[in-house]
Structure 1
């Protein structure tokens, strides 16, 4: 029984090592571009139906939380399908590795929102910029398993995050455009990079 357990552990370790050395093709341009559309649509809806985002921060951030959840679901569904197609038996290990790389930034974003909302609601204006910076860190953490040009997406989010912080520092106001425009452009940039790096358009079967 011990030999069997050891053999299984060795197999798992080998699979993990193979996954770590394999380029991840689970992220596809289709879902990535669609999430940019979700960001832009959310910004447009909030612009027309949320008169004062700074006066209703809970509504503002709940809208963006819903957009983030929808985007994550779209990416997850496409990731499952593409990973099964491109990575076959390594699919589960590759997906686990991808989630492991991006999860810390996502958890940090959620905890920051909860902490600022509960203990320092007057500082919520910094959250859109901080979220973009955290996305950039998540992208940079994934560079070793994605096309190296994906770092351009991380660089964009890093710069846009600090730009949003500087712009918002003058009025301390929340704006749907400081979320919608950077994420719409950033996700479209990521989709373009993935499209040309993978050489496919998700049309293969």
Structure 2
């Protein structure tokens, strides 16, 4: 029995190593571009419907948090279905590997939002820039198993994060486009990278 369990553990370890060294193809261009469109549409709607965002900072950030959850759900469903088709028996290991790379950045982003809301609401203007930097760090953490061009996407989010922090410094509520434009362009860049890596608009 011990030998059987040891063999299973060794097989599991081998699968994990293979997953870490295999390029992840569990995302399609259409889903990635769709989340970019949602970002710019959200920014445009916020700018149009709520001209005085400073009066409703909670609604501003709450809207982006809801959108982030929606995008995670869209990409998560895409990732599960596509990975099973493209990676076969390695699908579960590939998904787990991808999620583990981005999980720390996601938890940190949620933690910062809770921290600013609860203890430092006057500093909440930093969230858009910090969120973009965290996305960049998540991408860089997973570069070994992502298509090569994703390094450009990581660099984009890193630069836009610091740019937003510089441009919006001291404002109570940043412009909606401080979120919409970086994420729209970043997701379209991601779509282009996955499309060129996998082939076809649907990967």
Give the TM interval when normalised to the shorter protein.
over 0.9
Alignment of 1:81-96 (within 5 A): 81-96=81-96
Match of 2:157 in 1: 157
Whole-angstrom CA distance in 1 between matches of 2:55 and 2:103: 31
Aligned to 1:34: 34
CA offset at residue 38 of structure 1? 0.9
Question: Residue 37 of structure 2: SS of its match in structure 1?
Answer: helix
Task: Extract unaligned runs of 5+ from structure 2.
Answer: none
* CA deviations over 1:38-66 (Å, ceiling 9, x no partner): 10111112112223222211111110011
State the TM-score, normalizing by the size of structure 1: 0.95
TM-score of the two chains, using structure 2 as the length reference: 0.96
List 4+ stretches of structure 1 deviating above 4 A. none
- Is the contact between residue 125 and residue 170 of structure 2 (CA under 8 Å) also seen in structure 1? no
**Cα distance in 2 for residues equivalent to 1:135 and 1:54:** 25
Q: Using the alignment, how far apart are the partners of 1:99 and 1:170 within structure 2?
A: 34
Q: What corresponds to 1:10 in structure 2?
A: 10
Determine the C-alpha separation between the residues in 2 that align with 1:171 and 1:109: 20
**Cα distance in structure 2, aligned partners of 1:201 and 1:48:** 31
Q: CA deviation at 1:110?
A: 0.4
Structure 2 residue aligned with 1:180: 180
How do residues 104-119 of structure 1 correspond to structure 2 at under 5 angstroms? Answer: 104-119=104-119
Deviation of residue 170 (structure 1)? 5.3
1:75-130 CA-to-partner distances (Å, cap 9, x unmatched) read 11111111011100000000000000011111100000100111110011111011
Pairs aligned (count): 203
CA distance in 2, matches of 1:58, 1:172: 11
Q: Structure 2: how far apart are the matches of 1:37 and 1:144?
A: 27
How much is the aligned-residue C-alpha RMSD, in angstroms? 1.3
Structure 1 runs not aligned, ≥5 long:
none
Report the Cα distance in structure 2 between the residues aligned to 1:63 and 1:40, rounded to whole angstroms.
13
Q: Within 5 Å, which residues of 2 pair with 1:1-205?
A: 1-169=1-169, 171-202=171-202
Once residues 27 and 141 of structure 2 are traced to their aligned partners in structure 1, the CA distance between those partners, rounded to angstroms, is: 15
Q: In the aligned structure 2, how far is the partner of 1:77 from the partner of 1:142?
A: 19
